[in-house]
């Protein structure tokens, strides 16, 4: 720090930020959280331009595909230019028109060519190994089951199940959209170009939905519910704690006794009961979660208000005739902000965890929309886990990492903002 | 002491009553009925069943009937399972209790030594490593950890079964996935509690007198340093019990949590209320027990919550 900058003392928030920046794990966590949040906020753009697959679209022919497999997005597909050589080649019978069957065939050939590294129009074990979609089973096993003619490689017919990017059913639906004269094929004027495949980066689920975009959508729901529930708990806790701490005496004793008693309640069961009974409304979800998480916040706020309210500067504010609200909001809360902020940060992972609990039990958001807990629930079924592990591992890992990052950031904040506190 | 104990018991009774009444109201306000789910009953049979379970009476009367029956120790019939609620819960309780108690044992027996280890070498590699691992363990939801344990130990290595409950070995994985979070939390509480106490004067005096380091840690630091852990155990037991709902689902444990969720979906009123009652009683008793233990360890704390 240069000497000339010393003339003005460093502000507390600047000092806190300087301390926070020293914690490398916390900085990494913060960046991670920002990236996840940005993706979640921009989910509509993500599905339009990055994943290409939307949250709701399902591809019945592409169920349980491993990460890296490819398919044709239904709505946000890209097209190759019509003049492209591949388009001409796709017109198998050279009649100047494209049928669904031809398109399906052409894209399967294209996929085979992509996987076929040595260009012999057949897939050998090494090529299968390199193909991301071979992940469901070892390449040797795949080869053994599919190689009907015993050649040791998979030719186009044998590999068909493996390379069918654009199954005839989907191709038919796709062609129909452009087939204005309804003659079952696309003439040169109707043909928009060959649809380009997109990659299922995280694989697909039991309905052939893209897991990547569902993870991004799940982030949206999980983070939003976590934040809103924390906000609800913050509001209740602030009001309850401030009223108790400010008034003191009997009111304080009674209000804090109520908090003590509420600590002993099986809140989770009441929330489960509420969700089961009144349906899976997302507003009910975060209000209920927030309403069960405010107790500690109330205790912290009360402690802060109690400690601050008799300090000289508050007495002075009172002496010059400041109103109670203005003392509370202008003089007390800014000074109590540190511990409150710290606890609020640590409440976010807690509420997210509760949300994912409920979603895991099938009580969160409604299908086809989803959250990380619901996704983990889909992947944690006994028959699915071992064969299609990505369905559990991706949502489980991203949820764990996010909770980890939130906890690390919260603890780093506590170290710089509230060093005297010693909880956990 | 006795008087404050009695006051606490009375207070807890009132709390139980409020919880039950609230749950009753929520259940009854809900759309749907236990009879409407699976089949279309002929109207006269439905009327007969309604009559049998007292569902046709006014809400207030149903409520007073229920409370009156409770006062006689009767939890009512399960409408779906055609068995007394008390029998169902009594059969399910051991599974939940064993899982929960083992989870707590795991949390305490692993968490406290880890915390001591970290506290004895503060700001070293061991400290940082233990704390990073415990933050990670706090962040893994048990419904993610559980399936991963199944994947590794049951499906991969074949050491245990994937779920169900045929013997004690089936309780290991559920207990660990349930207890992991609390293990991590206990270790952090133990660490910070001990670090706090180790700065106090009596510890310095003990060192100055020449007491061995082991003696200083075990005798002078541990007792006061573990107070935060003890006060955490009450809420922890509570959370372990609620957490068991999910773990029971993951491992197909036939415990109370499983029955509770199914019963709530089926609108099986008496079974839901019975499960909530059992949980609340357990919670209240555990909290009371923890406060008792606390007032023994730390004489400054009294049972009615005032600092002496």
Whether B74 shows a pLDDT value over 90: the answer reads: no
If you count residue pairs, one on A and one on B, with CB atoms under 8 Å apart, how many are there?
146
For residues A416 and B188, give the distance between their C-alpha atoms in angstroms, rounded to a whole number. 18
Query: Comparing A57-61, B10-14, B43-47, B182-186, which segment has the lowest mean pLDDT?
Result: B43-47
Selected for mutation to probe chain A from B7, B139, B255, B268 (highest A CB count within 10 Å) is B139
Of A264, A268, A356, the CB nearest to B242: A268
Average predicted confidence (pLDDT) for chain A:
87
Residue B299 has pLDDT above 80, yes or no: no
* CB of B195 closer than 8 Å to CB of B115: no
CB atoms A277 and B138 under 8 Å: no
pLDDT at A422: 47
Which of A197, A167, A15, A58 is CA-nearest to residue A104? A167
pLDDT for B50 beyond 90: no
pLDDT one-digit tens code per residue, A261-305: 787 677 788 888 888 877 778 888 899 999 989 999 999 999 989
pLDDT at B114: 92
Question: How does DSSP classify residue B26?
Answer: H
Count of CB atoms situated within 10 Å of the CB of A284: 15
- Chain B stretch 265-284, residues whose beta carbon is closer than 8 A to a beta carbon of chain A: 265, 272, 275-276, 279-280, 283-284
- For B22, the closest of A270, A407, A411 (CB atoms) is A270
Quote the Cα angle for A30-A35-A40, to 5°. 125
Please count the CA atoms within 13 angstroms of the CA of A218 that sit on its side-chain side. Answer: 29
What is the interface pTM, i.e. ipTM, of the complex? Answer: 0.84
Smallest CA–CA distance from B8 into chain A, residue: A261
Task: Retrieve residue A145's tokens.
Answer: 């089951």
Separation in Å, CA of B154 to nearest CA in chain A: 10
Contact residues, chain A, for B192 at CB < 8 Å: 422-424
Output the pLDDT for position A54.
92
Neighboring chain B residues of A257 at a CB cutoff of 8 Å: 305
Question: Does residue B133 carry a pLDDT above 60?
Answer: yes
Q: Does B169 touch chain A (CB under 8 A)?
A: no
CB-based contact B188 A379, cutoff 8 Å: no
Residue A185: which pLDDT band, with cuts at 50, 70 and 90?
confident
Q: What is the pTM of this model?
A: 0.88
C-alpha span between A375 and A204 (Å, rounded):
12
Tell me how far apart the alpha carbons of residues A195 and A94 are, in angstroms, rounded to a whole number.
19
Mutate to test the interface with A, among B15, B127, B147, B160 (most CBs of A within 10 A): B147
Q: Is the pLDDT of residue A424 over 90?
A: no
Tokens at residue B245, please?
Answer: 């709902």
Q: What confidence tier does A1 reach under pLDDT thresholds 50, 70, 90?
A: very low
pLDDT in tens, B178-230: 999 999 999 999 998 898 888 889 888 988 998 888 888 888 888 888 888 88
- A379 and B147 within 8 Å at the Cβ level: the answer is yes
Q: What are phi and psi of B307, to 5 degrees?
A: -85, 125
> What is the predicted pLDDT for the residue at B83?
85
Over chain B, what is the mean pLDDT? 84
Chain A environment of B96 (Cβ under 8 Å): none
Partners of B245 on chain A (C-beta within 8 Å) are 268-269, 272, 357, 361
Of B264 and A421, the one with more pLDDT: B264
d(CA B127, CA A63): 46
What is the DSSP secondary structure assignment for residue A136, as one 8-state letter?
Answer: G
CB contact, 8 Å: B54 with chain A?
no
3 state DSSP class of A366: coil
Query: What is the percent of chain A where pLDDT is above 90?
Result: 32
Confidence of residue B39 (pLDDT cuts 50, 70, 90): low
Question: Across residues B234-263, what is the average pLDDT?
Answer: 84
Distance from CA of B45 to the nearest CA of A (A): 25
């Amino acid at each position: 720090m240069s000497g000339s900058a010393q003339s003005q003392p460093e502000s507390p928030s600047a000092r806190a930020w300087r301390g926070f920046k020293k914690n490398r794990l916390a900085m990494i966590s913060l960046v991670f959280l920002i990236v996840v949040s940005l993706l979640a906020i921009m989910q509509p753009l993500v599905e339009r331009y990055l994943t290409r697959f939307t949250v709701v679209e399902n591809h019945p022919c592409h169920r349980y595909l491993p990460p890296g497999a490819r398919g044709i997005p239904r709505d946000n597909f890209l097209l190759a230019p019509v003049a492209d050589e591949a388009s001409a080649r796709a017109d198998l019978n050279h009649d100047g028109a494209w049928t669904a069957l031809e398109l399906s065939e052409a894209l399967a050939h294209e996929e085979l060519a992509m996987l076929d590294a040595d260009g012999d129009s057949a897939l050998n074990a090494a090529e299968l190994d390199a193909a991301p979609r071979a992940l469901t089973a070892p390449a040797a096993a795949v080869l053994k089951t599919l190689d009907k003619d015993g050649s040791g490689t998979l030719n186009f017919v044998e590999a068909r199940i493996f390379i069918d990017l654009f199954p005839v059913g989907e191709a038919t639906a796709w062609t129909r959209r452009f087939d204005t004269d309804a003659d079952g094929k696309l003439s040169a004027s109707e043909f928009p170009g060959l649809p380009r495949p997109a990659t299922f980066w995280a694989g697909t689920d039991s309905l052939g939905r893209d897991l990547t975009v569902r993870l991004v959508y799940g982030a949206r729901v999980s983070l939003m519910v976590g934040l809103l529930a924390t906000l609800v708990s913050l509001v209740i806790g602030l009001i309850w704690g401030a009223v108790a701490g400010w008034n003191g005496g009997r009111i304080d004793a009674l209000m804090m006794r109520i908090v003590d008693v509420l600590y002993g309640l099986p809140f989770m069961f009441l929330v489960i009961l509420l969700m089961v009974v009144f349906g899976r409304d997302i507003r009910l979800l975060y209000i209920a979660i927030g309403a069960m998480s405010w107790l500690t916040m109330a205790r912290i706020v009360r402690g802060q208000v109690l400690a601050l309210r008799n300090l000289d500067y508050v007495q002075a504010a009172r002496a010059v005739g400041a109103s109670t609200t203005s003392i509370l909001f202008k003089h007390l809360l800014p000074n109590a902000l540190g511990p409150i902020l710290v606890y609020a940060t640590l409440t976010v992972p807690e509420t997210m965890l509760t949300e994912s609990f409920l979603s895991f039990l099938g009580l969160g958001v409604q299908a086809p929309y989803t959250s990380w807990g619901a996704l983990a629930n889909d992947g944690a079924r006994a028959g699915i886990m071992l064969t299609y592990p990505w369905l559990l591992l991706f949502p489980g890992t991203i949820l764990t990492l996010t909770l980890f990052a939130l906890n690390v950031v919260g603890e780093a904040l506590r170290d710089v903002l509230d060093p005297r506190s010693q909880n956990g | 002491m006795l008087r404050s104990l009695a006051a606490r018991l009375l207070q807890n009774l009132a709390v139980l009553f409020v919880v039950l009444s609230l749950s009753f109201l929520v259940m009854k306000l809900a759309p749907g009925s236990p009879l409407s789910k699976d089949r279309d009953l002929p109207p006269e049979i439905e009327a007969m069943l309604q009559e049998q379970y007292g569902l046709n009476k006014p809400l207030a009367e149903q409520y007073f009937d229920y409370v009156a029956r409770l006062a006689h120790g009767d939890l009512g019939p399960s409408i779906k399972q055609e068995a007394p609620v008390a029998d169902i819960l009594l059969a399910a309780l051991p599974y939940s209790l064993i899982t929960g108690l083992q989870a707590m044992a795991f949390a305490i027996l692993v968490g406290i030594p880890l915390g001591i280890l970290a506290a004895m070498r503060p700001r070293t590699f061991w400290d940082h490593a233990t704390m990073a691992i415990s933050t990670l363990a706090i962040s893994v939801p048990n419904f993610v950890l559980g399936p991963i344990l199944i994947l590794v130990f049951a499906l991969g290595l074949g050491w245990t079964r994937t779920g169900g409950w045929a013997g004690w070995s089936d309780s290991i994985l559920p207990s660990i996935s349930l207890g992991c979070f609390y293990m991590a939390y206990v270790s952090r509480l133990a660490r910070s509690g001990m670090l706090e106490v180790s700065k106090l004067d009596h510890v310095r005096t003990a060192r100055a007198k020449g007491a061995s380091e082991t003696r200083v840690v075990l005798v002078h630091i541990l007792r006061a340093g573990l107070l935060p852990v003890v006060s955490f155990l009450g809420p922890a037991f509570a959370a372990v019990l609620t957490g068991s709902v999910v773990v029971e689902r993951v491992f197909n444990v036939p415990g109370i949590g499983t029955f509770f969720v199914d019963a709530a979906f089926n609108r099986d009123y008496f079974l839901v209320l019975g499960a909530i009652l059992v949980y609340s009683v357990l919670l209240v008793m555990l909290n009371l027990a923890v406060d008792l233990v606390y007032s023994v360890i730390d004489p400054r704390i009294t049972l009615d919550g005032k600092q002496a």
